[in-house]
């Protein structure tokens, strides 16, 4: 029998060989790559073979390839033939595509009608996935699509901006804030979230996953009801905080759903640099949070107290609902270091009585006689100008 060159075989025979069940999809593709003459014959045969063999791997490759070529007709045709039903995660294809496709490829998929708000098994939308993976190009493409719900909440009901702030991704935060649809002060749920208080079964499952296997790019706060600024005040990245404070839409005085202001979050986390930046904001209303010094006595150390005392908007003799000043509280809690700081202030009124008719000294005396002595000497110095008694302090 005479030898016949492979390329000289009839077209029907060539197609029969190339689509034989003996050959795998890569083998068929390699034939087209090896011979330009065969490419026009073999490549069209790949599509029905991929569908017939129902290969999730190669269906995904075919769709991605068409998208990267910006071939909207081919993408639309593949989608119309039900290729997403074959792909393993076809219902949430965009969630994984944000980390694999170029901006152009992702834009093509969106233009062909893919839902940009699908939630995967962990409740993440494509935008949350892109934010987690720090995929700036994908985030930019998604923000440009008006169908994308940019404020769709994820676990603990915080959205993409919360996630970017908590992960301290300055570039992602800056990009998200460039979108006018981003709700910069969003706080949804009621009350704090914790390991033992998940609001939904789904949140609990996701939380367990994150605790057991901390996935890259996913480091959510274990407290809900916080606007993004609160998360920045609890973290150490001053660049992210500065980006938020420069945005005129950010409400620097907005309380969380639990009533905690950004200022209180910074004080509670003893974050002096963050509190310093926040207090310098022209719209901060520290005087409206009159008990911030009381709050600092509970949660902070000397450096935070010293900083707050230097602020003109913080009043050292301000009383809480029980009539107590911050000095009463420091004395009652045994905070001798803070009592000494207060006694160094000339505007301190040591004689103020609380709602029960007791002075700061009276609050300290039962449990902290040493602090009571400090307050006794402080009272004498204040009343009689006997500055030499400062040696006792």
Q: Is residue 150 part of a domain?
A: no
Residue 270 included in any domain: no
Q: What is the pLDDT of residue 147?
A: 96
CA distances from 189 to 122, 153, 155 (A): 19, 10, 11
Does 33 map to a domain? yes
Domain boundary pick from 34, 53, 72: 53
Residue in the structure block whose two tokens are 């160094």: 344
CA distances for 34 relative to 6, 37, 46, angstroms = 12, 9, 15
pLDDT of residue 392: 47
DSSP 54-85: T-HHHHHHHHHHHHHTT-HHHHHHHHHTTHHH
Torsion over CA: 254, 256, 262, 267 (sign): positive
pTM of the predicted protein model: 0.77
Asked whether residue 240 is assigned to any structural domain, the reply reads no
Q: Please, what is the angle between helix 326-333 and helix 292-299, to 10°?
A: 20
Residue 271 lies in a domain: no
Split into its structural domains, the chain has a count of: 2
Distances from the Cα of 281 to the Cαs of 248, 313, 335, 391, in angstroms? Answer: 11, 13, 30, 39
Q: Per the domain annotation, does 277 fall within a domain?
A: no
Residue 322, domain extent = 286-393
Which pLDDT tens digits describe the chain residue by residue (393 residues)?
456 555 555 555 555 656 556 556 565 556 555 555 555 555 666 677 777 778 888 889 889 988 999 999 989 999 998 999 999 888 999 999 999 999 999 999 999 999 999 999 888 999 999 999 999 999 999 999 999 999 998 876 789 999 999 899 999 999 999 999 999 999 865 344 444 444 445 445 444 444 444 444 555 554 568 899 999 999 889 999 999 999 999 999 998 887 889 999 999 999 999 999 999 999 988 655 568 899 999 888 889 999 999 888 888 999 988 999 999 999 999 999 999 999 988 899 999 999 999 999 999 988 999 999 988 987 765 554 444 444 444
Residue-wise DSSP of 135-159: -HHHHHHHHH-TTS-TT---GGG--
In the 8-state DSSP scheme, what is residue 259? S
Please tell me the predicted confidence (pLDDT) of residue 19: 58
**Alpha-carbon torsion, ordered 328, 334, 338, 343, to 10 deg:** 60
Tell me, yes or no, whether 378 lies in a domain.
Answer: yes
Domain C-terminal end among 21, 37, 53: 53
* Residue 311 placed within a domain: yes
The residue among 17, 38, 53 that closes a domain is 53
As a dihedral over the C-alpha atoms of residue 203, residue 235, residue 329, residue 193, rounded to 10 degrees, the angle is 0
Tell me what pLDDT residue 33 has: 57
Distance CA 356, CA 66 (A): 77
CB 118 within 8 A of CB 125: yes
- For residue 109, what pLDDT is reported? 96
So what's the pLDDT on residue 68? 94
């Amino acid at each position: 029998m005479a030898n016949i060159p492979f390329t000289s075989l009839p077209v029907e025979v060539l197609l029969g060989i190339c689509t034989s069940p003996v050959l795998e999809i890569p083998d068929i593709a390699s034939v087209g790559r090896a011979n330009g003459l065969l490419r026009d014959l073999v490549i069209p045969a790949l599509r029905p073979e991929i569908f017939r063999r129902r290969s999730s791997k190669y269906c995904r490759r075919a769709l991605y390839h068409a998208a990267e070529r910006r071939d909207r007709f081919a993408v639309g045709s593949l989608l119309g033939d039900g290729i997403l039903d074959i792909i393993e995660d076809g219902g949430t294809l965009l969630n994984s595509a944000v980390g694999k496709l170029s901006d152009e490829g992702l834009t093509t998929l969106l233009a062909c009608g893919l839902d940009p708000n699908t939630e995967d098994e962990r409740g993440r939308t494509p935008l949350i996935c892109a934010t987690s993976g720090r995929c700036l190009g994908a985030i930019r493409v998604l923000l440009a699509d008006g169908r994308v719900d940019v404020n769709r909440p994820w676990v603990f009901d915080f959205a993409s901006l919360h996630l970017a702030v908590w992960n301290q991704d300055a570039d992602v935060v800056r990009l998200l804030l460039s979108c006018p649809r981003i709700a910069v002060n969003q706080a949804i749920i009621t009350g704090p979230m914790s390991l033992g208080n998940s609001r939904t079964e789904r949140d609990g499952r996701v939380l367990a996953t994150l605790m057991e296997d901390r996935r890259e790019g996913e480091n959510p706060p274990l407290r809900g009801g916080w606007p993004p600024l609160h998360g920045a005040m609890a973290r150490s990245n001053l660049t992210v905080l500065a980006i938020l404070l420069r945005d005129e839409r950010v409400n620097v005085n907005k309380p969380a759903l639990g009533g905690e202001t950004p200022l209180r979050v910074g004080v509670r986390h003893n974050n002096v640099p963050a509190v310093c930046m926040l207090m310098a904001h022209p719209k901060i209303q520290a005087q409206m949070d009159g008990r911030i010094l009381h709050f600092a006595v509970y949660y902070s150390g000397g450096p935070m107290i010293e900083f707050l005392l230097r602020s003109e908007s913080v009043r050292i003799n301000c009383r809480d609902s029980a009539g107590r000043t911050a000095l009463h509280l420091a004395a009652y809690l045994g905070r001798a270091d803070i009592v000494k700081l207060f006694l160094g202030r000339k505007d301190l009124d040591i004689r103020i009585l609380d709602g029960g008719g007791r002075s700061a000294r009276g609050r300290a005396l039962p449990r902290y006689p040493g602090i009571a002595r400090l307050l006794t000497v402080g009272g004498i110095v204040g009343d009689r100008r006997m500055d030499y008694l400062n040696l006792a302090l």
